[in-house]
Structure 1
Amino acid sequence: MWQVGKVIDRTDWNERLFSLKIAVDIGPYLAGQFIKLAMSLQDKRVARAYSIINPPGSDYIEVLAVTVPDGQLSPALHLLQPGDVIDVSVPATGFLTLNELPQGEIQGRHLWLLATGTAVGPFLAILDTAEPWQRFEKIVLVYGARRADELAYFAKLQALAMQRPQFRFLPAITREEHPGMLHCRIPDGLASGSIERHAGISIAAADSQIMLCGNPGMIRDSISILTDRGLRKNLRRAPGQITTEKYW
């Protein structure tokens, strides 16, 4: 089912990376879920999935996107301005949500959020809700990108780290070195231990939940490292410590 949404604001993080705020009623949803955006292009309806960045309770949705030169939808999205309309799927869906994690004693004390690129979106929504701060003693967001200017919402995340003593924000970039940021791929930072050293806590099956969202290579390599250390995938029939969502 589709609703017509109206673009009410946009933010350009660099020449390719941008956010759109879209006024639309999609009904109730959970932080971490996604919708599809669709446009009619050359007499063909083209739809793609985008995570909702803002928490439930708003009268709009916000999405983070990057334009791909040969992409079917993203170049057209990149041209949208306030006042333009776009189709939005309802209801929201997806399982990268806190209610999918184990609860009680098997939950553990620490929540690790590992993301690359625009896949930070679900975690931005989750961090904007009360639940993670009530359930976990420590929360670590590792946000991977190629360059520093590809870290959308960087100032917001820095401010959150200042406001929340239990939160640690670790940007990790690969194509340049930048003061205060890790210079590595997320799997390499896990393998070397540098991510844990900068976070000030260790990853262990007894006290950690790991949520991963991003490119398949990051997820594959990170899972291999984590499972070698005794963590296992989280399934409803067999609770574990690793919950994932591939972003393409």
Structure 2
Amino acid sequence: MANWLSAKVTQVKWWNDKLFSLVVHADIAPFTAGQYTKLALEVDGERVARAYSFVNPPSSDDLEFYLIKVDDGALSEALANLQPGDEVRIAEQSTGFFTLDEVPSSEQVYMLSTGTAIGPFLSILQQPHIWQKFTHVVLVHCVREQQDLSYQALVKQLQQQYPQLHYVPVVTRENVDGMLSERIPRLIKSGRLFDHVQLSASPDVAQFMICGNPEMVKDTSACLQELGYTRNRRRTPGQITVEQYW
């Protein structure tokens, strides 16, 4: 059973009419970048809880979560109505294995995300460890419309701080100058992703972390396996590490 704590809302940042970030303060146990916790509220007399990844690094006093407001969503609508000063329940202990400790060192790492699943990658990228472990870090964020590319200021700050960061925004339902527009598996299969960042990937130099909707995770994993990459497991290290985001 989770040990629940009270978290005070300090900020609600709306990126557009559906996407928002919730910032809270709570004295939770230490966590590792890439992990997730649970948030909960009383909805119609019942406690409703869902898992959310941290956007902030473990060193931050703020706990930040990147959410999408789902119409008739059991919890997301209630979370979207929160205001600074309100309280939400948060699990004291975090969990999850989508962390750098589980990924073998390599020359390149590709962080492949859709929608709000960019969150755990932003947490990882704000930690010094990743910049010592990989020479090239490629952050791919695939969304439907350009307005869904949140956290642009943070990404630019990271690019200025760490020149080895390659940021690849992908917009699938609009044509935007300078941006790729196909789904991630197709970009990998055609080689366009690697051409775009001017890198040559192969199993002996590249790792892939995949986080997003189940269809993207499944299709991207299958595409990579066709190209000779294997799932990463503790007993048999490979090149593909995945996290289903719902």
Structure 1 and Structure 2 fold alike (TM over 0.5): yes
Aligned residue for 2:75?
73
Long gaps (5+) in structure 1: none
Long gaps (5+) in structure 2: none
Counterpart Cα distance in 1 of 2:157 and 2:182: 23
Which residue identity is paired with 2:135? Answer: E
Q: What number of residue pairs does the alignment pair up?
A: 244
RMSD, aligned α-carbons:
1.0
> Retained in 2: the 8 A contact 1:146–1:175?
yes
Counterpart Cα distance in 1 of 2:163 and 2:124: 17
Q: Which moved more, 1:162-171 or 1:9-18?
A: 162-171
1:161 has 2:159 as partner: yes
Q: Which moved more, 1:28-37 or 1:194-203?
A: 194-203
Counterpart Cα distance in 1 of 2:51 and 2:81: 18
Map Cα deviations across residues 57-91 of structure 1 (whole Å, 9 max, x no partner): 22231000000002100011111111000000121
1:114 has 2:116 as partner: no
Aligned residue for 1:3?
5
Aligned residue for 2:102?
100
Counterpart Cα distance in 2 of 1:155 and 1:184: 24
How far 1:201 moved relative to its partner? Answer: 0.8
Counterpart Cα distance in 1 of 2:112 and 2:70: 23
Q: Among 176, 179, 193, which residue is 1:178 paired with?
A: 176
TM superposition score normalised by structure 2: 0.97
Counterpart of 2:181 in 1: which secondary structure? Answer: coil
How far 1:213 moved relative to its partner? Answer: 0.2
Counterpart Cα distance in 2 of 1:5 and 1:95: 24
Map Cα deviations across residues 133-163 of structure 1 (whole Å, 9 max, x no partner): 0111000001010011111102321332243
Counterpart Cα distance in 2 of 1:233 and 1:202: 20
Identity of aligned residues (%): 45
Aligned residue for 2:16?
14
1:199 has 2:197 as partner: yes
TM superposition score normalised by structure 1: 0.96
Q: Among 132, 137, 140, which residue is 1:139 paired with?
A: 137
Runs of 4+ aligned structure 1 residues displaced above 6 Å come to: none
Counterpart Cα distance in 2 of 1:50 and 1:5: 14
Counterpart Cα distance in 2 of 1:154 and 1:194: 23
> Retained in 2: the 8 A contact 1:32–1:95?
yes
